[in-house]
């Protein structure tokens, strides 16, 4: 005896064409309303650098089996290295996002 096919619980008629069109229009409005890219800030870079150092310290201490002093020194170096690197990456990201924003939103500035 052949197995009977199970019906999906969410099976039903497809959405009406008008509803699909309204959703598509709503998505277009969402694209138009997108805000300007966020300007890179030193505070954001500093927070990320602290986060990297705080996460790197226990890794060095427990997984890499380094001493407490060595882990602290390496985490401090990572913190200091992440500040200029973070600013560089943030500025790069901002330039790319602004280029895309200007391309997608001509005359919005």
DSSP string, 73-92: HHHHHHHHHHHHHHHHHHHH
Give just the sign of the alpha carbon dihedral 67, 70, 76, 82.
Answer: negative
Q: Residue 76 to residues 17, 44, 52, 63: CA-CA distances in angstroms? A: 59, 18, 10, 18
Give tens-digit pLDDT for 72-83.
Answer: 999 999 999 999
What does the block give as tokens for 14?
A: 């497809």
Q: What is the average per-residue pLDDT within 50-67?
A: 95
Region 28-56 average pLDDT: 87
Q: What is the mean pLDDT of residues 21-43?
A: 80
Domain ranges of the chain: 39-104
Tokens for 98?
A: 């602004």
pLDDT band at 45 (very low <50, low <70, confident <90, very high): very high
Residue corresponding to tokens 């427990």: 62
Q: Which of 104, 93, 107 is nearest to 34 (CA)?
A: 104
């Amino acid at each position: 005896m052949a197995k009977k096919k199970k019906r999906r619980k969410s099976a039903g008629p497809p959405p009406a064409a008008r509803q699909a069109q309204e959703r598509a229009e709503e998505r277009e409005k969402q694209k138009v309303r997108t805000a300007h890219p966020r300007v890179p800030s030193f505070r954001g870079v500093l927070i990320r650098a602290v986060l990297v150092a705080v996460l790197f310290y226990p890794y060095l201490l427990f997984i890499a089996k380094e001493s407490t002093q060595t882990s602290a020194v390496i985490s401090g170096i990572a913190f200091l290295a992440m500040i200029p690197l973070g600013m560089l990456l943030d500025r790069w990201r901002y330039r790319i996002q602004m280029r895309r924003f200007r391309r997608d939103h001509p005359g919005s500035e």
